[in-house]
Each structure stands twice: as C-alpha cells, then as structure tokens.
Structure 1
Amino acid sequence: MFFITVIGLYYDKRLRNVSGLLFGLLWMMLHAYLYQNSWQLNNIKTNTLAGKTQLLQGEVVNLPVNSSGGYAGDNKQDISRFNFRVDRLNQKPLNLSVIVRLRWDQAKVKPELGQKYRFAVRMKPAHGLANSGGFSYQTWLRYKHIVATGYVLDEPEPVLLTDNFVVRQQLYNRYVRLLPPGPVSALLPALSFGERSRISQDMWQVLQRSGTSHLMAISGLHLGLVATGSFFAILWLLRNLPLTLLLPQKLALPLMSANLNKLAIGISLLITLFYAYLAGFSLPTQRALVMLFLYWGIRLAGGKLTLRRWLLIALFILTLLDPFSLFSASFWLSVYAVSCIFLLLWRFGDVFYLGDKRVKVIKSLLVIQLGLTLFMMPVTALFFHQVSLASFLANIIAVPYMSLICIPLSLLSALSLFFSDALASFFIALAWQSLEFLWAYLAWLSGQDWALIDLSQSQVYYLCVILALISCGCFLSPSSWGGWRLLAGQCYCFLQRGILRLTRMQAAGLLVLAGLFITGFSLSGLNTGSQPVRGREPGIIPWQVYVLDVGQGLAVIIQKGKHAILYDTGAAYPGGFNLAQSVILPFLQYQGLSGLDKVIISHSDNDHAGGLPLLKSSIVINEILANDPVLEGRGICLQGHDFNWQGLHFAMLWPPDIKGEANDDSCVIRVSDGVHSLLLTGDISRKVESQLLSHLGHSQVLIAPHHGSKSSSRQEFINRVSPRYVIFSAGYLNRWQMPSEEVLARYQKVEAKVFTTAASGMLKLDFSDSGIHIQQYRQDLWPFWFAN
C-alpha cells in the first residue's frame, strides 16, 4: 500500500520530490526492519542465543584472517576470524540466512572461503563499544550485515561438510606462498585481492600519516585503471593483430566487421569484473563497479549523461542495492572525492583543456591533487579527527606511480597464476620492487613531525569553517566574487588572480565572517579553564566525569577544563586489542587533551591496568599512582594520602597498607567539590566494604565495586554511601553475568538510579551549581539506531 502511494505521488509533478524521499525512507526502514528482526523472522528469540551453546551450519563467506595473535598457557595460539553465513541453527533450517562473525582459537584446520562447516559456538547479538571519538564497531557490523558475534568451541568437534573452496581462495593461497619476505609484501595481496589483514599496525601508521590509506582499498582508482588500460590494450590488439591468421574464419570475419570500440568496451568490462571478483566484491569495489558499468553502458547504448546525473543515478543504484553502505565512512569519502573532482573539472576547465599536452597533464594532476587535498580535509577531519599535512606531497607521487606501475604489475601477478607460478613470481618480484621504492619515500615522509596533526572536536568545526570560506572563493561564479581563480598548475600559488581584488561589499562580507569566526574561537574558551567566568556569583566550577565503555573493565576520566585524571585504563589482550588504543586515546584526542595530569591504577588486574604501558608510550603523563611496583608508579595510593587538584579534593580511603590481595588492595577514592562527590571503588569485596564503613559518607555517584559481582555491594555499604546514581562498568552479556540481579535489587532498595556501560555506552556526568546532569552515549549523545 505504501509503495502504491509513493508511485501515485510520483506522477504528480508538485509531489515528485516528496515521493522520492518517501521511497528512500521506506526502503531504508524495510532493510532496517529485516536486520533488526533477523532472528525473530526465523522464529528465534534473541535472549536464547547468549550464554548457551548453539550448533551452526553454513558457509565461510570471506577470506578468513589467520594469525598467531594470542597465547594459551605457554603455547602460541592460532586464531582464525571469519564471516559465516548460517542456514541451519540447531539442526533446523532458517527461513532467512544470517551472517555471524566468528573467532576460532587454536583452530586445527584453517577455514577457507567457500567451505561449509558445522560448528558448536557461543555467540551474542551484534554489539560494540560506544564512546566519543572511538570507532563504532557496532555500526561496522551493521554495515557488513553481521547480526551476531561469537567463538567456535572445540566440543563437539567442528565438522567440515564440503571442501570446495572457491577459485579466489585457491588463487590467494598460491599467491601468498609466492610472496618474498619483507613488510612490503603485505601490500601486494591488498592490491591484488583486496585482502589487507597482512598489513601491520606500523604500516597502517605510515599510510595514515602520509594520507595514502585509500590506495590500499580496491576502489574507483584501481578499477578505473584496469578498465581504461584493458580497453586500450584490447583495442590495439583488435586493430593490429592478424585475426584471420590467429582465429578460425567464422570468428575472425565477424570480429573484423564489428564495432571494435564497443567490443573492446565489453571485453574490458569482463576483465574489470574479474578484478572485482578477486577483490571479493567489497563495498568500495561495488561502488566503483556500478559507476563504471553505468558509464560504459550508456556509451554502448549511444546515450549521453551529464556528470551530475551520472553520479546521482549511480548513487541511487548503490543505495538500492545496499542501503547499509550509507553507514560506511568510505562511502561518503568516495562520493565526496568524486564530487570534488567534478567541481574542479567544472570550475577550472581551462587548466585541463588549454596549452601543450604534456603541460596540461602536469597542470591537471596538480590541480586535482591540490584540490582534493584541500577539500577532503574537513571530511577526513570529521570522520577521523586528524589531518595529514603530508597528503599532497605523498599522493602527487604515489597516485601516478601506483597507477602506471604498481597496480598494473600487481594485477598481472595475480592473472599470471592462471599460466604458471614462475610467471606469477616474476611479476610479483617486479611489483614488490616497485613498491619498495615508493614505500621508502612514504616512510620518510610520514616520519616528519608535521606529517599528521590530531584535532579535537572543536578544531574540526573551525577547520570546516575555514575551508568553507576558501570553497566560496574557489567555486562561486566570477560575477559574484570578482573572478577568483585557482591556478594549481603553478606550484608557487594555490589561489591566484582575484584573491585580493574584492569589492567593498565582498570585503565587508569577509570581515563579518572573520568576525564570526573569531567570536567562535572566543566563545569556545568559555568555561574550559579552571577560573570562574566573570560576572557570575562564585560557586562550583563545572567539572565532568566520563565513565568510558571499555567492556568488562574500568576506565574513568575526571576532567576540569583542559586538565584530566584517569582512573584505570581498561584491558589489553594478547591478540593485540588494547582498550587504551581503541577507546582512551581517541577520546582524549576528541576532547582536545594532549596528556594527563595523573593516572591512578586501582589495582594490577588486566581489566584495570592493561592499557597503562601503551598510554605511557603514547602521551605525556605527569604522575602515575599505583600500588603494584610492577606498574612503575611514581606514587602510591594509600589511606590518608589525600591531595587537591583543580579545586577538587581526592580523599584516599583504601588501602591502609598493601597486603598483596589484588582486588582488596584496590585504591578507593572519594572525589568531592565540597557539594557533590563521586566514589571510585575498584574491585573491593564485601570484606573491605565492611572495614570502610567508618570512613565513608554519602556520595551522590558511585562506581559500583567489582562491576556488580555477587562478592561485593553488601547492603550496609550501599546504605552508608546512599548513592543517587550507581554506574556499573561491565561487558555486554558477559560470561559472569555482571551486574548480578541480587546486587541490582540491593541498589533499588535505596532508590538509586542504575546505569550500565553495556546498555548506555559511555556515560558523561556534569557537576555544576545546578546539580548533576548525566548523559548516556547511546541514548543522548549518539542516539541513532544503526550505532546502538
């Protein structure tokens, strides 16, 4: 019925735009409903999935990532991570197949793309950590259509049902075996098969700092090169080879009489399609493929499309095929980059079409690369809170070099596998050597101190305003802006001829905009320092507490102005995942904090102290308070060692001395501004709670002891603290079932309002004259269904 209404609206010219909007809304809602209710549509209750062994049967649908990332006892642990399309659950066929993300520790065999298995697994619905400035794993899972995550159990033993893994997997296995040793070899599978898991974290740092990460994703640049190169190569072959001698007459004569241009286009599309298959039809590859097929299809049909209409139709098709691609940063980055190129072609066409041919090529390259570098800055800053200043110098060399040398050699090395391993090894060696030269340059460039700058959220907004003003100068028509021109062909100047020739009205307008910009800077400084704002009555200087979502662990940031103290760091795991890197450092960057005044470690358990080594090597920490000497603290946290910081009083309540009892040696601190207070308790047990009763008073906010386990939060302790708000930092559907129902019931007796990081994500607490204001990340700060 709704679709019929939309179609009816389309035929009314006045409501045509509304019909398009309604259709898009309906299409997205339909896919969202199917995703959100994927288990219910299979008559399965979501709450029956977690905490129980499930028997899955299905197929591996991506190239598994096989690594030796963890340790089980003293033995190195092989780990496989892969996406698994489930068609049977507990021996019952599903109405609609679903995709789950699985981890297989100590895998006896390495799963391969296309193989079918029966696994016993433990899994839970798709979920991710939710913090300001951090990567949204839950959005990524939705973007990949993954509805659950879990791990494979050894008992009952996994059963391989079919071993017919696909051509792509076979080629990839052979390709990897031929790779020479050395870090640069990790780039070749990324360029040939779209498999980037072999690229190390250090190499990603080089790519990010140099602004060349986009070259490692098979997308428009790569497919465009393959399509264009294969088109001209095939056209040359058709025109110059003696077809009558090489082919039977029945085939040669039709080829000679055919439209060679169209024939070359068709064959080049097939080659490009195969390259996309090697890349696994990833979302960036699909986007490029749709745009390419649309363009060549129109050419084959003899039609014409303006660039704008071509882009809009391509975006419509992409959204129709996969609405969830809108959740991906790469989607918006690629669309924005293509739009910028079109704008540059429109606004500075004379640079591309006038002059000597070789000079035109150089000028065009400079204009496009300089324009992209400039106009991509606000978008990359919005998504990643950082900007690569080395991007222009890196890409002006890397893009043409890879386009002409590295990418063609990488593709030839993969295609050569159809003929012989020796031929493939030859092209792999050439591609490897070409990448060695480029990598040396990128590594040198990324090593410069100025290569990358991190931005806080406010700085991102300022950057967007500045570049919006520059965009106005570049793209508004000459009649309205006095002929601003961009001459990127001349390296000495980006804005040329007209930048200073403004009318009085234009100059006045810019002065007004500059005034607003400066005012924004001034306003941003209010209430960020430790001094009260003039003109108001003395009172509580606002301060904030952030209980970060670090899963089954704890990390609390106490911030006042541009100063902060961190209580606990979350966990670090043998596989390489570190909460300090994934949560704490991005949050500090988001807040514009370059360091910490103090880090206080409650006790040495991994879920509270695991991230400390990485933090110490990444940022400036003025002082570390830790009772375990292994943590190399510069101070200790003992009863009576109180201190004042930025007008706040930190009362050290526990322990009186160190007894070597990990949880019960937890550093208990009461933070107070004289009116409001926060109690941090670590992992203390009931025994310590009893001993603390005489030292405790009322605290409005309590970080619950030991994540809400049954071994803590006795009723006498709760009554003594009498918190108004209690916060549990615990993992989503964790195996220990924390916080326990018993503990929750005890807090409800004192009418405390309960929050859990698993449900709320990061919690922000504002302490001020008006009281305590709490914001939940999932419900208040980022309340979008695709991220929650």
Structure 2
Amino acid sequence: MFHTHQTPEHSVVGAPGIVAFSCGVILLYQLTLLPPPGWLFLVGLLMVSASLLIRQGTMRRLVRLLALLVLGLAWAGWHSEARLAERLPADMEGKRLELSGYVCELPQAGSFSSLRFSVCVVSWHSEGQQGATPVLPRRVRLSWYGRNDQALPGHRLRLEVVLKRPHGNLNPEGFRYEDWLFRKGYRATGSVRAVALDQDLHCGWHCRYHAWRQTVAEQVHRHFSDAGEYPLIASLLIGHRGYLTDRHWQTLRATGTIHLVAISGLHLGLVAVGAGLVARRFTLSVPAHWLDERRRRIAGFALVILCCLFYALVAGFTVPTRRALIMVLVGGWYLLLAREASVWRPFCSALFLVLLLDPFAPLDQGFWLSFGAVAVLLAVFSGRLAGPGWLKGLVLAQVAVFAGLWPLLSGLGQSQPLAGLVANLVAIPWVSLVVMPVLFAGALLVLVSGGAVTGWVSSLLDAVLGPLMAWLQWVEQLAAPVSVLTPEASPFLLALLAAVVVLLLRFPDRVFRLMTVALVGAWAVTAVLTRPAAINPEVVEPEIRVWDVGQGLSVLVRVGRKALVYDTGPEVRGVFSAVDSTLLPNLRALGINKLDRLIISHGDSDHAGGLVQLVQAVEVGQIQSGEPEVVAGILDEVPGKSVGQCRSEPFEWHGVVFEFWQSQAERTGNDASCVVRVHHPASGSDVLLTGDISKRVEAEMLAPGAVPWLRKAVDFRLVLAPHHGSKTSSSAPWIDRVAPDWVIYTAGYRHRYGHPHPDVVARYQLANARPLNTACSGEIVINLSKHGPKISELRHTVPFWIQGPGLTRDQCKIP
C-alpha cells in the first residue's frame, strides 16, 4: 500500500490516497442510510481498473483518489453491516432468556448497588434461540440488581437475563447512548435475574485474556485498595476507572484533564520512551562486534513495542490504547528506518492503520482529539533547527494544543475550559516525570517482593498523587470565575484563531509575534468587555420542542427571541440528569442564553429533575409551578429565586397566547399539575401541556365554566398525554371534549411502568388522534406556521445505525 520511495508520478497511493480512503470511512457515519458495501466494493474496483486505461496523469490520479474514497466507504460499510446484522428479535425483548458466556470487561459498581459488566456470548440456551435469524448478539451489556453485595461467581457464566435492543434518548445534542452502544459493539442491554458458574464453557484465547486481566485487577485491588488515592492508581496502572467517584469526574472535567486517566498516547508514549532508554543503555554495553548499530536499533524497537503492547493489554486493550499503540508502532518504525522523510508520512500511515483495523474509530471523540493534537504538535515542532528547551517546549505544546483543539472541541459540542491550560501545565509534567515512573517502579517492587513493601509503596503513591489532585481541585475553584473571561466566538473565528496561534508558534518572527499577540489580546479583551446581555436568537415561526428525556417530560417553547421551558425532565441523583444530558447541551446548541419563563408542572423528580443545575447554568426569569412550595424548597440553595403560583393572567408573545389552569381542589402531587395552553391564533392551533393530571382533575376541567377555552373550536389541537399515557389519566369524556388531532406520549422505552397503557392508546385511537411517542420518535418539533402546524420527528434524520430497517426505532410501536 505504501510506496514511499516512489516518485509522485508513479506512487499508487501516498498521503493523498490515505486521506481519500480515510475520508471515505469518515463519510459513512454522516449518512442516514447504509449503502450496500458489496456494490461499493465493486464500484471502487471498477474505478481502479478504469484508472489503468487513463493516460493523462492528473485525471488518472483523480480517479484513483475517488476509487480509494469509495473503497474506504465500502470498508466501513462492510463492518457496520456485519455489526448491525447481530440483532435481538423484537419478540425476545422483555422475556427471560438463558445464555452462557464470559465476562469481557472489568465489572463496575452501578446505581442502586448494582453491578455492571459485559458478557461475550458463546451460546444461547433458551428454546428457539440457537437457530434464530438474524444473528443473535455476541456482546451484551448487563446490570445485576438486588445482588446483596454478591460478586460474580467466576469468569465463565451461565445467566438468566431479560434483554432489550439498543435504545437511548434521542435529541440533536447531548450524549447518545445508542451511538455509544453501536461503537462498543453492544447489540443488547438488560438485567440479570440469575447467575451461576459455567465450568464447561469453552474458553478461547479472547476469554483467557480477559480472565488474566481480571486476575491482574484482583491483585492490584488486593495490594493497593487501602491507598487513599486507589481510584487514580487503578486508573493509571490498569486502566480501570470504575473506582473514580463523581467528585473525581467533576474535577477532571472542570480542569480539562480527563485524558490523564484514560490510558492513551501520553501513557504509552512514556512507556515507549522509558523502554527505549533502557534498551539503548543495555545495547550500548554490548560489544560492537556482537551487536552492530542496526541490530541495536532493531532490539530497541522490539523492546519498545513489547513493553507498550504489554501495558496496552494490562490496560484492557481499549480503543485509546490500541490507537496509541499503532501510533507508537508507526512512529518507531520510521525512526528505525532512519530515512529522511516528512513527519506527515508516519502520521498518515498511522491514520490509515487505525481506520483499517478499526473503521468505527471516527465515532470516538478521542479519535479526533488525539489525531488533532498530534497534527498540531507536528505543525508547531517539526522542521525546527534547534529544540526550544524542555520548559519552553512544554509551554509551547500546551498553548498550541489548547488553541488548536478549541475549534475541534466546539464542533464536538464541548467547551474548552480556560482553566485546563493552567491545570495541564503542571499536571502533564508531574504525571509524566513523577507519577508514572513511581507507579511503575512501585508496582514492580510489590510484584518482586511478593507484597512485602505494599504499605510503603502505597504511601509513596499517595504522596505523589495527593498533590496532583490538590492542584486540580485548586484550579477547579478558579474554573468558574475564569470561564467568565473566556471570549465567545463563532466556529469560523475559533478556527481562524487556532490557525493564527499555530502559525505564530511555528514561525516565531518577532514582529509577526508582537502583531499577533496584540490582535488576539485586543479581540479577547473586546469580546469579554463587550459581551452582550443574554439575548436569544430569533425564530421566524413559533416552535415547540418536545425533548426525548425518557420517562419524564421537558418541553421548550420559542417565540421570537423569547423562550419558555415546561418541566426539566427526570433526575436520579449521582446517576442521570436530563438537564445535564439533554437540556443544557441543546439550549447551548440553539444559542439560548435566557429562559424568560420556567414552568414546573409539579415537584416530582421526573418533571423537576436537575432544576438547581439549570437555574445556575442559564439566566431564568419568572418561575411558576403547580407546587410552588415544593419547587421553592428544591431551589433553596439558589439565592434570589422565588416561585410563583401556576394560576396567573394569560400573556402573549408575538401573537402566541399562553393560558394557565390548575385544579381548585388539589395543591400537592400529580393532580396539582400546572396545565398550560399554547394558542396560536394565526393558524388556529392549540398545544396542551398537561403534566400528570388524573381522571379526577380531567372531570373538574369538564365542569361548566371551568376551562372556557376548552370549549372553543380550533383548527388543530395537539395534546401531551397526561401522566405519560398512564391508565389513571386520559378518560374517554376528556378526550372527547379535547378532540385532539395529535397526541404525544412522553414515556421511556419498555419502561417498567408500561406507559402508554394500551387502554389509553385505544381511547385516543377512537378519537382519531394520530399518536407519537418520544421513545420511538426521539425529539418531536412542532412549528406553528400561519399555514398550519408542521410536525417533525428526529428519528427520520439520524444516522443509519439508529433508524435503519429492522432496528429498534424502525420497529418501535406504540402499544
């Protein structure tokens, strides 16, 4: 594939060809439909054959580049098709199934005292499963609840499980569980009902590797679990991050240092440097007539690769470690050859090998960040006649990576914490020069001594890791005030800024440097000092977004520059928050800096979850609730926030009228829910936000004169089914009076509550209301045009692994 010694005219591939192949692989994951890989391979090969008949050089190279792009698309498509072929049939969801397999990931503590682990399935035992079509999942993600602190009985297991197909909340921004499951190869998730040891299960090389790693993890836990910084020790030594607490993650996120506990290029690079120095020292002690220079280089290269491979295997051979191992392998190979070649050649070679061996790599943010960081460093440091010195080089590298990755992080929907620049200036050299050497030396001493020096080594590790966490926590305290000084900019401006900084560091001309620093400084100061007040982007037509938050409710209403949120979705403290995973990412993506009104229907955790976080992150105007005392109690820790009653005068935003209603009899619980009518006279449309009202409150609404607007005829009416479609709500008389054209159920996929109830669905069907369910549709958007409302479902525009034929959302049905 690589003919690096050829002239450009005769090179078959070269760097442009590698880039073309890589673009083909990356392009696949932008598609909503999976193209047939067989046809793509055929087209690519025909294009290669056609290029042999073209005599004109430029046209021949262009055709070959297009052929490589198509072949890259085919390569990724072939692997995706094979992965999607593993499928749990719909009729097997929710049933008790028996399977045998081995644990292929270190178990971790989960929520509600559960144990989370992955099983590579060897065989299915339940009747009708073994010959099932399509291919049953080979890898499943399981949670074991109610285990009473029991550990797994062994590595090879026979389990009774209840499974469901891959599914997660689907919104334009925020974490997508379905993306993560597809990337990791999990084709089903579920819970364990019974587990037993299966000694008769055949254990191949992959099984034996995971059993060995489990043994290593147990030994590390036995020796170091008493250390105060054991979560960091386990993360850095064997790549097991299951012991990191929420406090750890909060600090690492705020300081931009999560990469320190994800074994990747930094850690394998340190191993490579250490092994290279040891190999060089050893080989130089061997007489020259025994080992010439070429053999010394080969021996050093072999030792580096073996040490890096061993560390990668200990760390679980995860995606980041494999990617880093390939980079070390390619970089070491080019150093071994010692040829005069562009530094971009091994970079392109590593890119090609990563995508060839793992075509799912572009789905990882780490893929973009790691190659982006390496590209920035190569652009800054390659070709220099003299090194900048270690201190100056460290500062230059940190500034370059910080500025260079800023637009990339922005494009990935993440922020670039300014405090991270300060944190990494100390953390990276401390981890590189102190923590990792002490960690490796200490682990080796414990191993050689049989554990005799464990206490001394643990104390030493606490002594070097303690200051690291203290430094990060100190920087974390600066993160919030420093973030105010971070200028806001468009992606284009960030990319321009990154390019200017990289050029400045690469070509340090004094005049150019002074001019650039002055311009960038003036821009940053001006951007901070003239930062406008919270002003939202303007929408031409009123827009209502029903977010997919699982078993809960959250709605965004936008009119002009005004914004209203009705409910904030569910929250399980320390486990999940719709505000964190859905509301805040989507509000940021929409450019919404201020909520003019926040209405909490009532105080239940599936409607008022993450409330404090939302109010602290976004400017909020007036707050109303059906349970104002409960909501005010939740907001106790936020000073200056009062909560008003639900019942208030109607108000109007640019032709959209908002009206409120609440039961006169109830002041607590579901029946206290604040009901909001969003009325658009220009299109004659109503949208009813109903909270969790029950049939009793519905009957109160139907009383003469209780709700005057309910008796008014409209051209279109959409209702959010009360209480997510529970059988305690949506009575037949109420549905008849409301007469909805559409009904939206906001329920979790195969949730234990079973919403929406089949009887409720049948009643809406009798009323000729067209149903939608966020569990199937994902986010639902209603645009109130003067010509009538337009309703769109996100599932129709998402990638092929979410909405492809035969997959979960394609076959998702409302009961």
Length-normalised TM-score, structure 2:
0.79
Distance 1:224 1:265 in 2: 13
CA spacing shift, 1:160–1:79, aligned 2, 3 Å? farther
Check whether the contact 2:231–2:243 (CA below 8 A) recurs between aligned residues: yes
Distance 2:591 2:485 in 1: 7
Distance 1:786 1:379 in 2: 25
Give the alignment partner of residue 223 of structure 1, picking from 261, 268, 272: 268
CA spacing shift, 1:455–1:589, aligned 2, 3 Å? farther
CA spacing shift, 1:417–1:54, aligned 2, 3 Å? farther
Give the alignment partner of residue 65 of structure 1, picking from 95, 98, 108: 108
Residue 266 of structure 1: how far off its partner (Å): 0.9
1:371 aligns with: 400
Distance 2:593 2:603 in 1: 25
CA spacing shift, 1:408–1:777, aligned 2, 3 Å? farther
Give the alignment partner of residue 78 of structure 2, picking from 30, 33, 38: 30
Distance 1:465 1:182 in 2: 47
Check whether the contact 1:417–1:423 (CA below 8 A) recurs between aligned residues: yes
1:20 aligns with: 68
Check whether the contact 1:598–1:625 (CA below 8 A) recurs between aligned residues: no
Give the alignment partner of residue 692 of structure 2, picking from 669, 680, 683: 683
2:625 aligns with: 625
- Give the SS at the match of 2:374: helix
Distance 1:544 1:670 in 2: 14
Distance 1:111 1:325 in 2: 33
Check whether the contact 1:487–1:494 (CA below 8 A) recurs between aligned residues: no
Give the alignment partner of residue 653 of structure 1, picking from 661, 674, 694: 661
Bigger mean CA deviation after superposition, 331-340 or 84-93: 84-93
Check whether the contact 1:388–1:451 (CA below 8 A) recurs between aligned residues: no
1:667 aligns with: 674
Q: Which amino acid letter does the alignment assign opposite residue 230 of structure 1?
A: A
Distance 1:501 1:444 in 2: 30
Check whether the contact 2:326–2:354 (CA below 8 A) recurs between aligned residues: yes
- Give the SS at the match of 2:351: helix
Distance 1:18 1:176 in 2: 52
CA spacing shift, 1:342–1:256, aligned 2, 3 Å? closer
Distance 1:213 1:452 in 2: 19
Check whether the contact 2:626–2:673 (CA below 8 A) recurs between aligned residues: no
Check whether the contact 1:59–1:85 (CA below 8 A) recurs between aligned residues: yes
1:170 and 2:215 aligned: yes
Distance 2:236 2:481 in 1: 24
What CA deviation, in whole Å up to 9, does each residue of 1:466-503 have, x standing for no partner? 2333355467xxxxxxxx7437989xx9961664999x
2:463 aligns with: 433
What CA deviation, in whole Å up to 9, does each residue of 1:573-630 have, x standing for no partner? 2662222322223333333444544433323433223433554565554424232744
Q: Which amino acid letter does the alignment assign opposite residue 44 of structure 2?
A: V
Q: Which amino acid letter does the alignment assign opposite residue 288 of structure 1?
A: A
Count of residue correspondences: 714
- Give the SS at the match of 1:146: coil
1:73 aligns with: none
- Give the SS at the match of 2:416: strand
* Aligned residue runs from structure 1 range 148-297, under 5 A: 148-154=188-194, 158-161=196-199, 166-179=211-224, 184-240=229-285, 259-297=295-333
CA spacing shift, 1:83–1:612, aligned 2, 3 Å? same
What CA deviation, in whole Å up to 9, does each residue of 1:723-758 have, x standing for no partner? 333211111133344334443344344443332111
Distance 1:562 1:141 in 2: 37
CA spacing shift, 1:740–1:308, aligned 2, 3 Å? same
Give the alignment partner of residue 402 of structure 1, picking from 431, 439, 448: 431
Q: Which amino acid letter does the alignment assign opposite residue 264 of structure 2?
A: S
Bigger mean CA deviation after superposition, 445-454 or 188-197: 445-454
Distance 1:290 1:327 in 2: 18
Distance 1:138 1:369 in 2: 34
Residue 80 of structure 1: how far off its partner (Å): 0.6
2:94 aligns with: 51
Check whether the contact 2:162–2:190 (CA below 8 A) recurs between aligned residues: yes
Q: Which amino acid letter does the alignment assign opposite residue 244 of structure 2?
A: I
1:550 aligns with: 549
Residue 123 of structure 1: how far off its partner (Å): 1.3
Check whether the contact 1:386–1:452 (CA below 8 A) recurs between aligned residues: no
Residue 376 of structure 1: how far off its partner (Å): 0.7
RMSD of aligned residue pairs (Cα, Å): 3.7
- Give the SS at the match of 2:651: strand
- Give the SS at the match of 2:360: helix
- Give the SS at the match of 1:323: coil
Give the alignment partner of residue 116 of structure 1, picking from 156, 159, 162: 156
Give the alignment partner of residue 374 of structure 2, picking from 310, 313, 338: 338
Distance 1:258 1:37 in 2: 49
Distance 2:377 2:596 in 1: 45
CA spacing shift, 1:7–1:382, aligned 2, 3 Å? same
2:578 aligns with: 579
CA spacing shift, 1:151–1:452, aligned 2, 3 Å? farther
Distance 1:608 1:452 in 2: 33
Check whether the contact 2:631–2:643 (CA below 8 A) recurs between aligned residues: no
- Give the SS at the match of 2:187: strand
Residue 233 of structure 1: how far off its partner (Å): 1.4
Distance 2:154 2:346 in 1: 35
What CA deviation, in whole Å up to 9, does each residue of 1:315-362 have, x standing for no partner? 22221222122111111111111111121134xx44xx33xx6x5333
Check whether the contact 2:568–2:607 (CA below 8 A) recurs between aligned residues: yes
What CA deviation, in whole Å up to 9, does each residue of 1:522-581 have, x standing for no partner? 9x989628xxxxxxxxxxx74322211111111122234554333222222266222232
Bigger mean CA deviation after superposition, 258-267 or 326-335: 258-267
Residue 449 of structure 1: how far off its partner (Å): 4.7
Distance 2:293 2:416 in 1: 54
Residue 212 of structure 1: how far off its partner (Å): 1.6
Distance 1:122 1:742 in 2: 25
Residue 663 of structure 1: how far off its partner (Å): 3.2
Distance 2:332 2:506 in 1: 32
Structure 2: unaligned runs, 5 residues or longer? 1-37, 53-59, 202-207, 634-641, 804-808, 810-815
Structure 1: unaligned runs, 5 residues or longer? 40-44, 71-77, 244-251, 476-483, 503-512, 530-540
Give the alignment partner of residue 644 of structure 1, picking from 628, 651, 664: 651
1:445 and 2:475 aligned: yes
Bigger mean CA deviation after superposition, 771-780 or 139-148: 771-780
1:481 aligns with: none
CA spacing shift, 1:168–1:702, aligned 2, 3 Å? same
Distance 2:365 2:535 in 1: 30
Check whether the contact 2:163–2:191 (CA below 8 A) recurs between aligned residues: yes
2:121 aligns with: 86
